[in-house]
Amino acid sequence: MRLWSLLRSWLRATLRRSRMESEMDAELRFHMEAYAEDLMRGGVARHEAMRRARLEFGGIERVKEEGREARGANLIESLVQDLRYGMRMLRKSPGFTSVAVLTLALGIGANTAIFSVIYSVLLRPLPYPDSQRVYQVSFSYRGQLDPHNFSFRDVQFLEQRDAWSQGIAASTPTGLTFSNGSAAERVDALYVTAGYFSVLGVPPFLGRDFQPEEDREPGANVAILNHGLWQRGFALDPSVIGKNILLDSLPYTVVGVMPAGFDSHPSADVYLPIAHVARTAGSGQNLTVIGRLKDGLTPRAAQARIEPLSEPFFRTKNVPENSIGDIRFVLTPFQKMLAFEVSDSLFILLGSVAFVLLIACANIANLLLARGAARTREIALRRALGASRGRLARQLLTESVLLAALAGICGVLLARVLLALLLALAPPALPRITEIGVDRWTLLFALLITAATGILFGLAPVAQSTGPDLNVALKEGPGRGTAGAGRGRLRAALIVSEIAISLILLAGAALLSTTFVNLLHTDPGIDPHRLLSVEIWLTGSRYHSAPELAAYYNRAVEAIDRTPGVESAAVVNAGQPLERGGNLPLIIRRPDQINSVDYRAATPGYFHTLSVRLLGGRDFSDADSETSQRVAIVNASFARRYIENRDPLGELVDLNEDKGRRTVIGITADIKSNPATPAEPTVFIPAAQADFETSQIFDNWIPSHVLVRTSGDPLRLATEVQNQLRSVDPIVPIGRTRSLDQVLAASVALQGFMMVLVGVFAALAVLLAAVGIYGVMTYSVAQRTSEIGVRMALGAGSGHVLWLILRHTIRLVGIGVLVGLAGGLALTRVLANMLYGVRPYDPATFLGVATALVVIALVASYLPARRAMRVDPMVALRYE
């Protein structure tokens, strides 16, 4: 009620401004005239009466102003006034304004860009109805989440005992060659169970969903198209339903089309019933399992219902008895699992970039403090003229927020550019990358941090300017005397925190760079230079037996070998170096002990082409054929792990992939699949002796690779090699063609991404801190010019003056470095999982970073200090 009347009165005063003004005029005029009339009645002359009435009434403008204020009419007016005044102040010092706006815009832009990635990847719900109720099943071992995949049998186990979901679904990706009769292309396919789309909550918008019986063996040849492929391959023709398409040369009937905007994770062009891969050793063991929570069931309750399944399940998996208690099923939001690999990195980036913004704020606060000191007189004068403290504080804050707003606008524009750069660098592990953009939530975030920064750095000058004693301030000339003690402390604190934060970022960047360099220089076991790799997809090809495939490989290798510039070539199935590959169960000697080892099938010349040393025995040769002795080559890790104290040569191994054991005929040095982890024990077999079905399984999800050693730049030969492959068999789809150096770079892409971004943020932080120190020193030298002049006139040498100036900085830098070291040691631990070959508290790194920072800080303060040395005592003393 009272609030309402206040608001009404305020609205009336604000909206009916002119009416209020004229009424006020009339009222005051009436008062004075009535008084004058009374005076005239008492015998005073008219002219004199009017004069006295005005006099005794007091300052009429002041009364009106107070009246307006009493009604709250001034709120908007004074805001407009403040804004106008603020604009004028900013325009008056374009140097300050542009430095401040640019600094902040960088900070705000970078924060906005990183936030937009985080928002799109981690926070924005997946585009499915009620998507936050879709959970993925994985397990945790001793509290560590393992984004593990399950086999089809595991899925059946979970399905039969399901008490937590409205239905669970499984999927596994593959690549297929698609043909609609006229053109062929490589497409991404996802094998799914019949319930997959209903778990996601998005049915096909054309045709129908998969039926449960299509999910059972042998599996119906039916397919559901994603909207993109429907558009590309069929020009959105609705009569596609019922038509046949060829996938890997097999006919499938299209039964449905997914709506536009639908995407699965991983994204796919076409969906097929999972029955086709359910029993196979490869894809059938790599199923992602998701489910939608039962209605009304909380995630915690659902977790409680799946957990009791852990023990019986892992008992069937031959988990050692003493570990059974450490391992259990966990339900994790599907969205969170998608970003499992990158979410830590993203939050580290957000933290780093927030630090940069803090430093930017500290710098602006410092600049404002310095300016505030110059404005002390102006502010004291305005207070003497009757401006209240609150009014002045409001005006100073308005100026700061105005500054921040300008920076915010520039920052958002900048964010788009930065985001584009960032996405160009983005590692392949970053999911939902097409969804990332500057949207309204990102803009809201930018608005919030803009307001927060404006207030944050705006508070410093407010605290300072509304404090000091009027009389002192008015007596002091501009830029004269000593800076107030409180102000000096505030500025010192800002410098200390800038140095500390820079040090933390710099340490993080240094650790990540060391990691990256370590990874690049880790010995991958091969010589990656001058090596070309071409993906070929052999599923659905015309080759239906191992000898046919081997013959194709030989023809391809021969054709490429003849190409000028090629030194040698080879083909490998189930994974090339520095990328993930296939594995198989292995039996050595004792049939009850089954181990999982990496498996590769290669043509003769593979090790030679890769420059891998043979540690013993012999290489594969053309004589190793389907009919000759079954042989294998193992790597050094294999020999170490499985064959102790014996000569590996001649050992018999059973790869379970086919009938019959293989004799080990050679040992090679290790070849890494991931630079950050040691090589797995690996068995190589001659491609000519490979089991055809096994090769096919691996070909489903890992392409075979043609590897070519060249005498010059490998990428120059890319087209030539592709042409040779096409001339040998035009039907085999050719995938990516890259140099092994590029493959190596891609394998450390996430680390590289982190190194570049944290490095850029650290560089920005150090630059800002250096600018901040430089600014403060320049200001303090200017402030102390007369003091320096006096000292020099009294005989102080230039070295003494230099020390006088530097002493203060050295103390601040020292404190900043100590704080930064403590903070760095505490914070770099979050990087622990990302580092390779360097510990998070690496003393050398911290020492180096601290030294670098001290040097930079000293240079930044030496430049202004040198100016102090050159002060001419006469000029300085006259300066007063």
Partner 1 sequence: MDKQLDLLQGTLDMLILKAVSLGPLHGYGILLRIQQISKDRLEIQQGSLYPALYRLEHQGWITSEWGESENKRKAKYYRLTAAGKRRFQTEAEKWNRMTDVIAGILGTKPEEV
Closer residue to partner 1 in complex, CB, 58/143: 58
Give SS3 for 478.
coil
Closer residue to partner 1 in complex, CB, 74/737: 74
Closer residue to partner 1 in complex, CB, 22/677: 22
| HSE-CB of 453 using CA atoms within 13 angstroms | 35
For residue 390, the minimal CB distance to partner 1 (Å) is: 14
Choices 1-9, 407-415, 719-727, 777-785; region in contact with partner 1 by CB under 8 A? 1-9
Closer residue to partner 1 in complex, CB, 61/321: 61
Contact status, residue 540 vs residue 878, Cβ threshold 8 Å: no
406: part of which helix (H) or strand (E)? helix 389-425
Q: Where are the alpha helices (DSSP H) in 94-239?
A: 94-118, 152-160, 196-200, 227-234
Verify binding: residue 27, partner 1, rule CB under 8 A.
yes
Verify binding: residue 322, partner 1, rule CB under 8 A.
no
Helix axes of 94-118 and 389-425: crossing angle, nearest 10 degrees: 50
Q: Render 661-709 in DSSP notation, one character per residue.
A: -EEEEEEE----SSTTSPPPPEEEEEGGG--HHHHHHHHHHS-EEEEEE
For residue 17, the minimal CB distance to partner 1 (Å) is: 14
Closer residue to partner 1 in complex, CB, 6/429: 6
Residues 6+ away with beta carbon under 8 Å from 523: 672
Among 14, 17, 21, 28, interactor with partner 1 by CB under 8 A: 28
For residue 766, the minimal CB distance to partner 1 (Å) is: 49
Contact status, residue 486 vs residue 467, Cβ threshold 8 Å: yes
Residue numbers 125-164 binding partner 1 by CB under 8 A: none
Distance CA(746)–CA(154), nearest Å, equals 33
Distance CA(521)–CA(659), nearest Å, equals 41
What six digits make up the tokens of 58?
A: 């007091």
Closer residue to partner 1 in complex, CB, 4/143: 4
Closer residue to partner 1 in complex, CB, 382/661: 382
Burial 191-227 (b: 16+ CB within 10 A, else e): bbbbbbbebbebebebbebbeeebbeeebbbbbbbbb
Closer residue to partner 1 in complex, CB, 19/489: 19
Position 763, amino acid: A
The gap between the terminal CA atoms of the chain, to the nearest Å, is 60
For residue 387, the minimal CB distance to partner 1 (Å) is: 15
Choices 32-40, 214-222, 301-309, 428-436; region in contact with partner 1 by CB under 8 A? 32-40
Closer residue to partner 1 in complex, CB, 30/205: 30
Choices 18-26, 561-569, 760-768, 813-821; region in contact with partner 1 by CB under 8 A? 18-26
For residue 56, the minimal CB distance to partner 1 (Å) is: 5
- Please work out the total of residues on this chain that contact partner 1, with binding judged by CB under 8 A: 30
Residue numbers 193-232 binding partner 1 by CB under 8 A: none
Among 11, 15, 16, 30, interactor with partner 1 by CB under 8 A: 30
For residue 461, the minimal CB distance to partner 1 (Å) is: 25
Among 16, 19, 31, 521, interactor with partner 1 by CB under 8 A: 31
Verify binding: residue 35, partner 1, rule CB under 8 A.
yes
Closer residue to partner 1 in complex, CB, 37/311: 37
What six digits make up the tokens of 447?
A: 């608005």
Closer residue to partner 1 in complex, CB, 28/447: 28
Residue numbers 38-77 binding partner 1 by CB under 8 A: 56-60, 62-63, 66-67, 69-72
Contact status, residue 122 vs residue 332, Cβ threshold 8 Å: no
For residue 24, the minimal CB distance to partner 1 (Å) is: 8
Choices 29-37, 558-566, 579-587, 678-686; region in contact with partner 1 by CB under 8 A? 29-37
For residue 11, the minimal CB distance to partner 1 (Å) is: 12
Closer residue to partner 1 in complex, CB, 12/371: 12
Verify binding: residue 330, partner 1, rule CB under 8 A.
no
For residue 466, the minimal CB distance to partner 1 (Å) is: 16
Distance CA(12)–CA(15), nearest Å, equals 5
Residues 6+ away with beta carbon under 8 Å from 120: 432, 435, 436, 437
Cβ-based burial of 428 (10 A; exposed 0-12, middle 13-18, buried ≥19): exposed
For residue 74, the minimal CB distance to partner 1 (Å) is: 12
Choices 26-34, 244-252, 321-329, 434-442; region in contact with partner 1 by CB under 8 A? 26-34
For residue 58, the minimal CB distance to partner 1 (Å) is: 3
Q: How many CB atoms lie within 10 A of CB 469?
A: 10
Closer residue to partner 1 in complex, CB, 6/79: 6
Cis-peptide into 266, omega within 30 deg: yes
Give the number of residues written for the chain.
Answer: 880
Residue that has been written with the tokens 């979901």 in this structure: 165
Closer residue to partner 1 in complex, CB, 66/626: 66
Cα 486 versus chain centre, distance: 40
Q: Render 585-642 in DSSP notation, one character per residue.
A: EEEES-TT-EEEEEEEEE-TTHHHHHTPPEEEE----TT--SSS--EEEEEHHHHHHH
Closer residue to partner 1 in complex, CB, 69/693: 69
Closest CA to 133 of 289, 372, 296, 369: 296
Cα 182 versus chain centre, distance: 41
Contact status, residue 602 vs residue 584, Cβ threshold 8 Å: no
Site string for partner 1, 71-110 (x = CB under 8 A): xx--------------------------------------
Closest CA to 114 of 415, 407, 409: 415
Residue that has been written with the tokens 């890494």 in this structure: 672
Long-range contacts of 146-154 (CB under 8 A, 24+ apart): 147/337, 147/340, 149/285, 149/286, 149/287, 149/288, 149/289, 150/285, 150/287, 150/289, 151/284, 151/285, 151/287, 152/274, 152/278, 152/279, 152/284, 152/285, 152/287, 154/287, 154/289, 154/313
Choices 25-33, 190-198, 598-606, 812-820; region in contact with partner 1 by CB under 8 A? 25-33
What six digits make up the tokens of 798?
A: 């230039």
Verify binding: residue 2, partner 1, rule CB under 8 A.
yes
Verify binding: residue 384, partner 1, rule CB under 8 A.
no
For residue 458, the minimal CB distance to partner 1 (Å) is: 27
Residue numbers 287-306 binding partner 1 by CB under 8 A: none
Closer residue to partner 1 in complex, CB, 76/847: 76
Closer residue to partner 1 in complex, CB, 35/836: 35
Verify binding: residue 6, partner 1, rule CB under 8 A.
yes
Residue that has been written with the tokens 């091969």 in this structure: 526
Choices 30-38, 213-221, 333-341, 398-406; region in contact with partner 1 by CB under 8 A? 30-38
Closer residue to partner 1 in complex, CB, 73/781: 73
For residue 34, the minimal CB distance to partner 1 (Å) is: 4
Among 5, 18, 298, 322, interactor with partner 1 by CB under 8 A: 5
For residue 20, the minimal CB distance to partner 1 (Å) is: 9
Residue 482 to residues 476, 754, 780, 782, Cα–Cα distance (Å): 10, 45, 9, 11
Name the residues that contact partner 1, by CB under 8 A: 2, 5-6, 9-10, 13, 23-24, 26-28, 30-31, 33-35, 37, 56-60, 62-63, 66-67, 69-72
